[in-house]
Chain A
């Protein structure tokens, strides 16, 4: 079945440093979504990328979808303590007939130290 891997699994950074997490799918994706889960919280949608090579920015966050639509990355510039959490990528893995079924990546846990 479809597998979505993320690296690294953990990342500790000093506040102000940059952070990047990489997502790789075993299959081509029609789109990729990114979610953030704060400690003790639930996943919260960040963004969706649909086009090959697409790049989207949200303030200090930059999201990229690979040309082959099998990989993606999330880059955070100048991390802040509010960035702490686990970042998941997710791709649709439902039946060809449609429906909502997300295959989540393994996640990258980010810790930011002052």
Chain B
């Protein structure tokens, strides 16, 4: 099976712009989670989608949003970008509706905000 794929891999934006990141989970996986990784804050959970519904949400402002499509592919959007949004954005998929599921991470999208 192909792994989790994320596009684009690298992105440079300026403050105030918006950005959309895409994630394709492993075939058959229905849960997609998004994480932000920065040197200062580490790995932080953004949100999780399951069957096109947001099931869990982290403590991020409303500028961060996401959605999931019927084929389980997911997108996340960040509006009105700030310098502090520069980070590695990781998508992870897991197969089933369980709290013990392993997360399979994609390679990430490196976002730089200038």
Contact = CB atoms under 8 A, between A and B. Distances in A.
Tell me what chain B mostly uses at the interface: helix, strand, loop, or mixed.
strand
Tell me what chain A mostly uses at the interface: helix, strand, loop, or mixed.
loop
Contact of B99 (A35, A41, A92, A107): A92
25 contacts: A35-B103, A43-B43, A43-B90, A48-B102, A50-B100, A92-B100, A95-B55, A98-B55, A99-B48, A99-B97, A99-B99, A100-B31, A100-B55, A100-B92, A100-B98, A100-B101, A101-B56, A102-B33, A102-B35, A104-B35, A104-B42, A104-B43, A104-B44, A104-B45, A107-B43
Contact of B103 (A1, A95, A100, A105): A100
B42 to A, nearest CB: 6
A101 B50 CA distance: 12
Contacts of A44: 105
A103 B41 CA distance: 12
Contacts of B103: 33, 35, 43, 45, 90, 100, 102
Interface residues of B, number: 28
A102 B99 CA distance: 9
A101 B58 contact: yes
B51 to A, nearest CB: 11
Interface of B: 31, 33, 35, 42-45, 48, 50, 55-56, 58-59, 90, 92, 94, 97-108
Interface in A88-113: 88, 90, 92-95, 98-107
Nearest to A97: B55
Contacts of B97: 98-99
Interface residues on A, range: 20 to 34
A94 B99 contact: yes
Q: Considering the complex of A and B, which 4 residue pairs feature the smallest CB-CB distances, nearest first?
A: A104-B43, A101-B56, A99-B55, A42-B105
Contacts of B98: 98, 100
Given A43-B105, A107-B42, A98 B99 contact: yes
